[in-house]
């Protein structure tokens, strides 16, 4: 069973934390508004607070390649003393129940109730202590197919894990 994206209680309008998180959302919107799409990129902040230029992050299409790629990215971030990383991507999403998740197709492009979104996953030591915060903005298209990005909604009340989560290692900790 799918829910309307805009009214699902897990997605709430919220103000981003000023600084890195707000900048990441602004960059995602500016890229999308300028290009009408958003390829997966990473936005990184170093220990001096300097925001670095977005860097392409290849899509991990194969699990083992994706796992190795994400470990390597986490290693590079740690070696360079990153204090924040945000992943910006365009994707499909579906709000569903635990029971409904079992019947979901692997490719959400084929799922009923799917919504095209820009997603920004933010990890920063000054934002929730480095825990991942997920933001989504729905993409709507006019009759000519021109895209528009809606307001940012914060995903609440959930915990995430996986190869794309936890790229920012705990302070002073190992992988």
Residue range 126-149, pLDDT digits in tens: 888 788 888 999 999 999 999 999
Is the separation of the CB atoms in 123 and 143 below 8 Å? Answer: no
Answer whether residue 45 shows pLDDT above 60: yes
pLDDT average, residue stretch 83-112? 74
Domain boundaries, the chain: 5-155
pLDDT average, residue stretch 14-32? 92
Q: Pick the most confident of 12-16, 47-51, 57-61, 104-108.
A: 12-16
In this structure, the strands spanning 84-93 and 55-56 are unpaired
Going by pLDDT thresholds of 50, 70 and 90, the confidence category of residue 163 is: low
Answer whether residue 3 shows pLDDT above 50: no
* pLDDT, averaged across the chain: 79
How high is the pLDDT of residue 40?
A: 80
In this structure, the strands spanning 147-149 and 133-141 are antiparallel
Going by pLDDT thresholds of 50, 70 and 90, the confidence category of residue 156 is: confident
Tens-place pLDDT, residues 48-71: 777 766 666 656 566 666 677 778
- The model's pTM: 0.80
Residue 44's nearest CA partner among 119, 118, 124 is: 124
Q: How far apart are CA 165 and CA 122, in angstroms?
A: 9
């Amino acid at each position: 069973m799918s829910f309307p994206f805009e009214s699902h209680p897990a997605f709430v309008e919220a103000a981003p934390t000023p600084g890195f998180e707000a900048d990441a959302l602004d960059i995602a919107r500016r890229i999308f508004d300028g290009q009408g799409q958003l390829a997966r990129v990473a936005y990184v902040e170093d220990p001096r607070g300097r925001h670095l230029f977005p860097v392409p992050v290849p899509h991990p299409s194969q699990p083992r390649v994706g796992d190795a790629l994400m470990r390597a990215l986490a290693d590079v971030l740690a070696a360079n003393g990153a204090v924040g990383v945000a992943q910006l991507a365009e994707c499909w999403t579906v709000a569903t129940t635990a029971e409904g998740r079992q019947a979901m197709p692997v490719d959400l492009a084929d799922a009923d109730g799917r919504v095209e979104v820009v997603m920004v996953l933010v990890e920063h030591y000054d934002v929730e202590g480095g825990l991942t915060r997920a933001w989504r903005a729905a993409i709507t298209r006019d009759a000519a197919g021109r895209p528009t990005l809606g307001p940012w909604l914060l995903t609440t009340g959930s915990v995430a894990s996986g190869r794309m989560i936890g790229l920012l290692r705990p302070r002073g900790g190992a992988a």
